[in-house]
């Protein structure tokens, strides 16, 4: 029975180099400008929901119309810089999240194909070892330890399923 190959693609060395350069360029632009929050900080600050974006937009609009109503303790210039930069970043965040998800999904299919083929190879080694094919028993025994139920990590990864051996 032939295996179903879910995905087939190749990146040329030039494409990998270009991809790496693009990521490096992004890192250079953002160097010293972005932060890494702790999980606790992410929970504390959260993300602004669409409803809250409307509140921010409405407040900005009214501040523009009625500058004399802005509280003295509010730094309007800083508010405007934050607002503008947030808008600039939002588009890029969405694009990068989309690309990251595409990369993860593509890698998932490649992982599945590799794992399925590795299992087929293992099963063939088990068969050949049973047929006393020279060298097959060594390969089979070496791989067999990877299927010991106590050694199989259960990380929630679909590729860590228990295999009947």
Per-residue pLDDT, 155? 44
User: Does 15 map to a domain?
Assistant: no
User: Does 36 map to a domain?
Assistant: no
User: Does 55 map to a domain?
Assistant: yes
- Kindly tell me the burial class for residue 31, based on how many C-beta atoms sit within 10 Å of its own C-beta (0-12, 13-18, 19 or more): exposed
User: Does 9 map to a domain?
Assistant: no
User: Does 139 map to a domain?
Assistant: yes
Separation CA 88–CA 95 (nearest Å):
12
CA nearest 92: which of 33, 13, 10? Answer: 33
Domain count, the chain: 1
Report the length, in residues, of the chain.
165
Q: What is the pLDDT along the chain (165 residues), one digit of tens a residue?
A: 567 899 999 999 999 999 999 999 999 999 999 999 999 999 999 888 889 999 999 999 999 999 999 999 999 999 999 999 999 999 999 999 999 999 999 999 999 999 999 999 999 999 999 999 999 999 999 999 998 776 555 444 544 444 555
Separation CA 165–CA 130 (nearest Å):
13
User: Does 128 map to a domain?
Assistant: yes
For the entire predicted model, the pTM comes to: 0.75
Residue 120: give the domain boundaries: 41-160
Separation CA 130–CA 54 (nearest Å):
69
User: Does 20 map to a domain?
Assistant: no
User: Does 4 map to a domain?
Assistant: no
Tokens of 102: 């595409």
């Amino acid at each position: 029975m032939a295996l179903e190959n879910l995905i087939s693609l190749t990146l040329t060395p030039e494409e990998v180099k270009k991809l790496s350069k693009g990521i490096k360029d992004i890192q250079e632009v953002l160097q010293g400008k972005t932060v890494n929050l702790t999980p606790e900080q992410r929970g504390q600050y959260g993300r602004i929901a669409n409803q809250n974006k409307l509140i921010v937009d409405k407040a900005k609009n009214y501040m523009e119309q009625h500058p004399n109503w802005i509280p003295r303790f509010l730094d309007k210039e800083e508010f405007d810089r934050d607002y503008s930069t947030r808008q600039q970043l939002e588009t890029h965040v969405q694009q990068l999240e989309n690309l990251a998800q595409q990369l993860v999904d593509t890698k998932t299919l490649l992982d599945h194909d590799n794992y399925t083929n590795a299992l087929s190879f293992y099963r063939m080694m088990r068969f050949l070892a049973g047929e006393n094919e020279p060298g097959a028993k060594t390969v089979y025994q070496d791989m067999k330890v990877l299927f010991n139920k106590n050694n199989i990590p259960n990380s929630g990864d679909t590729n860590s399923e228990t295999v009947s051996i």
